[in-house]
Amino acid sequence: MSLPNPTIRRPDVIVIGTGAAGAVMAKELSTKGLQVVAMEMGSFQKTRHFDQDELQAMHPASNNHDHPNIYRHDQPNTYRQSSDDQAVEDHGIHMQSTVGGSTLHYTGISWRLHENDFKERSLFGDLDGADVQDWPIDYWDLEHYYEKAEYEVGISGLAGANPFDPPRRRPYPMPPVPRTSSGALADMAAQKLGWHSYPAPLAINSREYGGRPPVMNCGFCESYVCTIGARSSMLVTMIPQALRTGNCQIRADACVREIVVDEDGRAEGVIYLDKDLREHRLEARAVIVCCNGVHTPRLLLMSKSNLFPDGLANSSGKVGRHLMFNYYQSARGFYEKDLNEYKGVMDSRIIQDFYDPDPDKYGFFGGGVLEPRGDGETISFANLNMPRLRRWGARRKKWIMDNYTRYMVALTSMQSMSQESNMIDLDPDVNDKWGLPVPRVTYNVHPNEHKLGDFFRDRARELLDTAGAHGIVASPNFVPHGDAHLMGTCRMGNDPATSVVNKFNQAHDVDNLFIVDGSSFVTSGKSNPTLTIQALAFRCADYIVTQMARLNIR
């Protein structure tokens, strides 16, 4: 059955971006009867256009970045460590720009932030060199919307299994997916260590749900688009629901280059470029920006006008500031028997025993999680950098043969500190294929991140060792140039002088402009921001509908 995609010439709202936030907004608002045009800079693919070809997905040709299977290098950026440096071209920012966004290929881990995540400044105090603040909302503002996201998007998991989980009113709509070998080893190790391993809440079906089939445990999960639609990506959940209302048009291959304002400073609409770089103008009663932590501030900074000479909604000067990733460290353990991690989802267990340890006791601020995992990639495995092992020759060959089925990774993901100096702005020299300035990333770690890294690397080793690994290789600390978790760059707050949006994701400066995605985050959480992005979007949609009904937004 083909879905309608009507041409809507004068929408009520324009949603820019069709990922975790934009697709939820499009579905919610079109379901409430508003006319919606959702803009996507990339193409509109079907799941059947993707496949699990490692070469194409992970090792693409540099001149073939438009292929839908490739997400890593799709949108170029530049990087510098500090504002004194000259930025150089880089591909550290991971985002998929096709309809559905990065939900097409994400691991799908979907937990709720904890109550403490919203008030770390109050609970744990300040940290030198960082700008840690409380959120203007708390867990109870999102609880209902987390539940809504879990049921509407489709999350599998086991309520009550994680003793550190925040309170919830309903269990998950589906039981967990099958445990992988790395999950089983994590269970064993955690029990010996007195930790609490629990089934990862995943945006992956464990049974038929929403007309979609259960997981097939194919082993090519993260970084690959699920070809059967078992992953609850936006492309197979919110997008078709939005289109079925008949009130939503997806306008793909349409790159918004500016949000335009009228003489009163209200958002009037957008100017966008089509595939052939022809310019179009589209107007609406409200504009919602959902391009995540890098491309949202970039678009606002490109939207300069007499009223907003420093970029739209940027009277605070904070648009693009406070860029956060989730810092991570990992260790790889090798075992005597097969794990066969080419079978199963990427990550079936999570451990949150060190989610927010006492800073006075541990000597660092914030915390993190352990996410034991593995995958089926063969080329990447063969090319792994291993100490004291040449990349070629008989010994390398034997090592690949002996170990491809016998390893797991203990990934640890942790908090990044909010720092005003970490930011996105417009690169003065480099343009993208649309002729628009690429985002320039300025990013350095806070020393606290490397303290976290040392602590969590040791926990990762401990996990693998307790599970019986005969060899463990761990990564050193590093300065990330980018990530897939992109947060903080239009942060939420009550004070218009220090934040960009209010607690309903409405721009302080422009009342019919909404910004909903990772950029709203005040703190980074420990990992896996997507469910929180979706909950913020469901909540913001409710707010827009009530405001429009009260004629606060005309």
Partner 1 sequence: MTSKPFSRRSFLSNTARATGGVITLGVLSRTGAIDAQETPPFEYTWQNLDARQGRTVDALTRMIMPSDDNDPGAAEARVIVYIDRALGSHRAEYKESYVSGLAAFDRYCQLSHEAGFLDLDTRNQRRALMGIDRARSPRNWPDDAPMGARDFLRMLVTHTMEGMFSDPSYGGNYRETGWKLIRFPGRAAFGYDPPFSEFDMTIPEIEYPEWKPYDGPMKSRIVGEA
Residues 62, 37 contacting (CB under 8 angstroms): no
- Of 178, 265, 357, 359, which lies in the binding site for partner 1, with binding defined by CB under 8 A? 178
CA-to-CA distance for 506 and 288, rounded, in angstroms?
Answer: 9
553 binds partner 1 (CB under 8 A): no
| Residues 377-406, interacting with partner 1 (CB under 8 A) | 378-379, 382-383, 390-394, 396-397, 400-401, 404-405
Complex with partner 1: residue 1 or 401, whichever CB lies closer: 401
Residue 99 to residues 118, 234, 245, 536, 553, Cα–Cα distance (Å):
31, 8, 18, 20, 28
Q: Which value, in Å, is the radius of gyration of the alpha carbons in the chain?
A: 22
Q: Report, in Å, the least distance between residue 68 CB and partner 1.
A: 15
C-alpha 537 chain-centroid distance:
14
546 binds partner 1 (CB under 8 A): yes
Which part of the chain contacts partner 1 (CB under 8 A), choosing from 152-160, 204-212, 355-363, 511-519?
152-160
Q: Which two tokens stand for residue 351?
A: 């451990």
171 binds partner 1 (CB under 8 A): yes
Complex with partner 1: residue 287 or 544, whichever CB lies closer: 544
x/- site string to partner 1, residues 210 to 249, per CB under 8 A?
A: -----xxxxxx-----------------------------
Q: Report, in Å, the least distance between residue 192 CB and partner 1.
A: 11
Q: Report, in Å, the least distance between residue 399 CB and partner 1.
A: 10
194 binds partner 1 (CB under 8 A): no
In sequence order, which ranges of 420-529 are alpha helices (DSSP H)? 447-466
Q: At 13, give phi and psi (nearest 5°).
A: -135, 145
Q: Report, in Å, the least distance between residue 543 CB and partner 1.
A: 5
Q: Report, in Å, the least distance between residue 553 CB and partner 1.
A: 14
Complex with partner 1: residue 67 or 450, whichever CB lies closer: 67
| Residues 14-53, interacting with partner 1 (CB under 8 A) | 52-53
Residue type, 255: C
Q: Report, in Å, the least distance between residue 70 CB and partner 1.
A: 11
The number of residues making up the chain comes to 554
Geometric angle at alpha carbon 153, from 149 and 154, rounded to 5°: 105
Locus of tokens 């170029």: 76
- Of 22, 183, 297, 488, which lies in the binding site for partner 1, with binding defined by CB under 8 A? 183
143 binds partner 1 (CB under 8 A): yes
How many residues form the binding site for partner 1 (CB under 8 A)? 73
Q: Report, in Å, the least distance between residue 161 CB and partner 1.
A: 4
193 binds partner 1 (CB under 8 A): no
CA-to-CA distance for 453 and 450, rounded, in angstroms?
Answer: 5
- Of 22, 543, 548, 553, which lies in the binding site for partner 1, with binding defined by CB under 8 A? 543
Strand ranges (E), 335-445:
349-351, 368-373, 407-414, 423-431, 437-442
**398 Cβ neighbours under 8 A, 6+ residues apart:** none
Q: Report, in Å, the least distance between residue 247 CB and partner 1.
A: 20
| Residues 286-345, interacting with partner 1 (CB under 8 A) | 337-344
Residues 18, 258 contacting (CB under 8 angstroms): no
For the chain, give the longest Cα–Cα distance. Answer: 73
